[in-house]
Amino acid sequence: MNDRETSMEEGVRLFRLSRWEPALTELLKVDAGAFSPEEAADLAYYLGLCYTKLDRYDDALLYLEQVVTSSPDPLRLYQCRMTLAYIYAITGRSKLAEFELGRLVDGGFESVQMFTTLAYAAWSQRHYQKAVDYYEKALDLDDNNATALNGLGYILADSDLDVPKGLRLCRKAVEKKPQNAAYLDSLGWACFKNGDTGEARIWLRRALDLAPRQKTIREHMKVVVAPD
């Protein structure tokens, strides 16, 4: 086995152990110049995922886009397009996120993660009813999915589309993951939108204790504790 193959195997091994930094170090040692197209796509795949795990999104995009234009593996294409959509959504490029997910829909792929990411992208563009529709599709596939319950509940409460239902869904999400700061924040905000400032403060305080630097939680708490 040559040095190139050794570094590739070691990088993949470290990646599977969730050791992102050392995995990336090993993979970057690999000279892909003599790789076949399939081997080069494998390397780009693992580099893209490592960079994603390390929140180095611009670097991740460079490699993941190589994979979606060259890999013949449908499962790998699905994962890479989902990862691209995630990166685009959380970095404010919602239209690009929708484009990637639309490609998956056209290819016949459906999953809870796909619909929740589409919903988040729609919400980011203030397309609230569209976001609701996507979250409901996610719940059609898994009616106990905490991400979909929380996302749908928050939108229904925050946009005043259906505050009581939003509150119920947020409670259900917190019941499933009581230490999730984002879910606690959603529940607190839904309580506030439902007119219960006292309970809202309780949940928002718990959320803030878990994630004291989270901007949205701090903003919600500021509104809730503001004097009339």
Residue 57 counted as domain residue: yes
Between the alpha carbon of residue 21 and those of residues 53, 106, 177, the distances in Å are 9, 35, 29
Residue 164 counted as domain residue: no
What is the pTM assigned to this prediction?
0.69
When comparing pLDDT for 18 and 75, which is higher? 18
Residue 144 counted as domain residue: no
Q: How many domains does the chain have?
A: 1
Q: Provide the domain limits for residue 68.
A: 1-72
Report the C-alpha dihedral over residues 197, 202, 208, 210, rounded to 10 degrees: -150
Identify the pLDDT of residue 5: 63
Identify the pLDDT of residue 121: 80
Average pLDDT on 77-90 reads 86
Q: What is the pLDDT of residues 30-47, one digit of tens each?
A: 887 778 888 888 899 999
In CATH, what number is assigned to the domain containing residue 68? Answer: 1.25.40.10
CA distance 100 to 117: 11
Q: Which of 100-114, 194-208, 212-226 has the lowest mean pLDDT?
A: 100-114
Q: What is the pLDDT of residues 165-200, one digit of tens each?
A: 999 999 999 999 999 999 999 999 999 999 999 999
* pLDDT reading at 146 higher than 80: yes
* pLDDT reading at 6 higher than 80: no
Question: DSSP per residue over 117-145, as a string?
Answer: HHHHHHHHTT-HHHHHHHHHHHHHH-TT-
Long-range contacts of 56-62 (CB under 8 A, 24+ apart): 57/87, 57/90, 57/91, 60/87, 61/87
